Structure 1
Amino acid sequence: MNQVKVQFRTPQEVMDFTNVVSKYEYNMDLKKSSRKIVDAKSLLGILALGLENVLELCIYSDDNCDDVVKAISRYVIA
């Protein structure tokens, strides 16, 4: 499993993000806390977590997921 932190500022960014991650076969979740977890490919799920929050993206794969991280790099924060 790979994890990166992401942040969205506008609904358009969320829509662009879901369009990109939906192209990959990996299962992915976004976590706001240990109790709030949504499918990273769900537009409404991500919007329900709220904008401007730092979210943790979990990519479930044994493979190196650098291709996904590179594709969403504009949303990744340090």
Structure 2
Amino acid sequence: MKKTYTILLDSINQVKDFANMINRFHCDVDLSSGRYVIDAKSIMGIFSLDLQSPLTLTIYGDNETDEAEMADIEKALQPFLVKK
């Protein structure tokens, strides 16, 4: 299972809050900006991206990532999601 979201991390506090939040979950998570892809659990990696533009967040679920955890992740992502 793979899910993709568009998020915006345009302040230092948002980056810290996002990194702390995403590290609570066990699944693999990538952030991409253009052709650069980093581990979303790496705060240093996040700071290496262009934070002025929206980022693509990809969550890779496996058998251990059940529906309840995915729902928890989606709920925790709400403050960072780009509203369309």
TM over 0.5: yes
Distance 1:66 1:40 in 2: 18
Question: What is the aligned partner in structure 2 of residue 66 from structure 1?
Answer: 71
More strand by share: 1
Bigger Cα Rg: 2
Cα RMSD for the two superposed structures: 1.2
Question: What is the aligned partner in structure 1 of residue 30 from structure 2?
Answer: 29
TM-score for both structures, normalised by structure 1: 0.90
Distance 2:33 2:78 in 1: 19
Identical aligned residues as a percent: 31
TM-score for both structures, normalised by structure 2: 0.84
Matches for 1:1-78 after TM superposition, within 5 Å: 1-33=2-34, 35-62=35-62, 63-64=66-67, 65-77=70-82, 78=84
Distance 2:31 2:76 in 1: 16
Which ranges of structure 2 fall in alignment gaps of 5 or more residues? none
Residue type of the alignment partner of 1:55: L
CA contact (8 A) 2:33 2:50 kept: no
Distance 1:52 1:72 in 2: 18
